[in-house]
Amino acid sequence: MAIKMMQGNEAIAWGAITAGCRFFAGYPITPSTEIAEILSRELPKIGGKFIQMEDEIASLAACIGASVGGLKSMTATSGPGFSLMQENIGYAVMTEVPCVIVNVQRLGPSTGQPTSPSQGDVMQARWGTHGDHPIIVLCPTSIPQAYQQTIYAFNFSEAYRTPVILLLDEVVGHMREKFELPEEFDPGSPDRPTIPEPPEWYRPYGDTPSDVPPMANFGEGYRYHITGLFHDQMGYPTQRRDEIDPWIARVNRKIERNLYNILLYESDIPDQVDTLIIAYGVTARSASHAVKLARLQDLHVGLLTLYTLWPFPEDLVERLAATASRVIVPELNQGQLALEVERVVGRDKVTRINLANGKLIPPPMILNVIADHKP
């Protein structure tokens, strides 16, 4: 293992290569540009493709096309570009095309402050594209997790035929930490599983025991249609309810039945808990230190760090919050994930700590709220 001081964006780029990413299309935007810069240099060395597109709309469109052609594909952006990608995220959901979208959040709305941290895209990551749809959103808190969760993002995307969003904030993207990077990268396999049936029997959107039909790459003899309209098992547009309803059920079911694998988190919960803190991203680092300070004052505090934001782990949150008298949710926004926590445990039990001005929430701010709630 090679120990390096590595930036979060750098870790994402190397994590993508390790996961088998062989195509990147993107448009430069602060604070995610380092991901594109690194992959523009490294992908051609291993037979991959890098292309700078004219905008973020085209970037994700190119990734979808490359994925259909058989390449594990990724793009990276920030708030304004992420907004432009929403239509094509919906298209990838409807067509069940795997791809990874990295959003290094910055302060908004609009161009906001390009170099200031934010967690303002949490709800946009879930509901930015229109219509009811499942989505997987991962959120690292450190450089090692940025590397690991990038690999998870590709694995989830391929396993469940869905776009996966890697959502981090500017601080995690730009800070540097010690990281043990493997000396030799396992490039993974960019190839998808072999289709078991002959081309004439292939159903790209058919019902399978896993709810995830195998995906054939274009150009390999398996002919089928791809459309953003509701479609039948061959991919052709349909208005028949007996074809639309099963598709909706299957696409949601393939995520719901695999929550055990998809929901990533870390819990530091003592036997007795008066206060439970639920945090994510860089804010979880402040929360972790605040918990240590609180315990020095004999305060009974637990911490749940979420690495999977969507689907929201409501059963986990309900179970861990059941024995606590209060739940604190610190966020670099006006209270976005707190809405989900309140939905699960009740508004009266939740205290929000919010900053949306480009500044980090310091541990003493969280500690003061914990102390103010002494039983």
**Max mean pLDDT range (180-194, 196-210, 326-340):** 326-340
Record: fold of 266-372: Rossmann fold (3.40.50)
Query: Given a cut of 80, is residue 193 above it in pLDDT?
Result: no
Asked whether the domain spanning 266-372 has the same topology as the one spanning 2-181, the reply is yes
* pLDDT, position 310: 98
* pLDDT, position 180: 83
Give the residue with greater pLDDT, 172 vs 182.
Answer: 172
CA distance linking residue 215 with residue 85, whole number of Å: 23
Q: For residue range 301-356, what is the model confidence (pLDDT) as tens digits?
A: 999 999 999 999 999 999 999 999 999 999 999 999 999 999 999 999 999 999 99
* pLDDT, position 291: 97
Q: Which residues pair with 167 in a beta bridge?
A: 103
Q: For residue range 59-96, what is the model confidence (pLDDT) as tens digits?
A: 999 999 999 999 999 999 999 999 999 999 999 999 99
Averaged pLDDT, 191-205:
86
Please give the share of the chain, as a percent, with pLDDT higher than 70.
97
Strand order in the sheet with 72-77: 49-52, 21-26, 72-77, 99-105, 163-169, 136-138, 308-310
Please give the share of the chain, as a percent, with pLDDT higher than 90.
89
Query: Given a cut of 90, is residue 152 above it in pLDDT?
Result: yes
Query: Given a cut of 60, is residue 28 above it in pLDDT?
Result: yes
CA distance linking residue 152 with residue 149, whole number of Å: 5
Averaged pLDDT, 203-229:
93
Averaged pLDDT, 174-181:
90
* pLDDT, position 53: 97
2-181 CATH, one of 3.30.70.141, 3.40.50.620, 3.40.50.970, 2.160.10.10? 3.40.50.970
* pLDDT, position 184: 61
* pLDDT, position 103: 98
Q: For residue range 86-96, what is the model confidence (pLDDT) as tens digits?
A: 999 999 999 99
CA-nearest of 299, 225, 195, 310 to 264 is: 310
Using pLDDT thresholds of 50, 70 and 90, give the confidence band for residue 372: confident
Averaged pLDDT, 266-270:
95
Give the angle subtended at the CA of 116 by the CAs of 365 and 105, to the nearest 5°.
100
* pLDDT, position 3: 80
347 contacts: CB under 8 Å, gap ≥ 6 = none
Using pLDDT thresholds of 50, 70 and 90, give the confidence band for residue 196: confident
* pLDDT, position 272: 86
Averaged pLDDT, 205-218:
93
CA distance linking residue 246 with residue 206, whole number of Å: 10
* pLDDT, position 374: 54
CA distance linking residue 275 with residue 273, whole number of Å: 6
Domain-wise residue ranges, the chain? 2-181, 266-372
346 contacts: CB under 8 Å, gap ≥ 6 = none
Query: Given a cut of 80, is residue 206 above it in pLDDT?
Result: yes
Query: Given a cut of 90, is residue 191 above it in pLDDT?
Result: no
Tell the residue number behind the tokens 């995690």, with chain if given. Answer: 172
Give the angle subtended at the CA of 211 by the CAs of 206 and 214, to the nearest 5°.
60
In single-letter form, the type of residue at position 214 comes to P
* pLDDT, position 181: 75
Using pLDDT thresholds of 50, 70 and 90, give the confidence band for residue 192: confident
Query: Given a cut of 70, is residue 29 above it in pLDDT?
Result: yes
Window from 46-50, 51-55, 181-185, 290-294 with minimum mean pLDDT: 181-185
Averaged pLDDT, 280-294:
98
| First-residue to last-residue Cα distance in the chain | 48
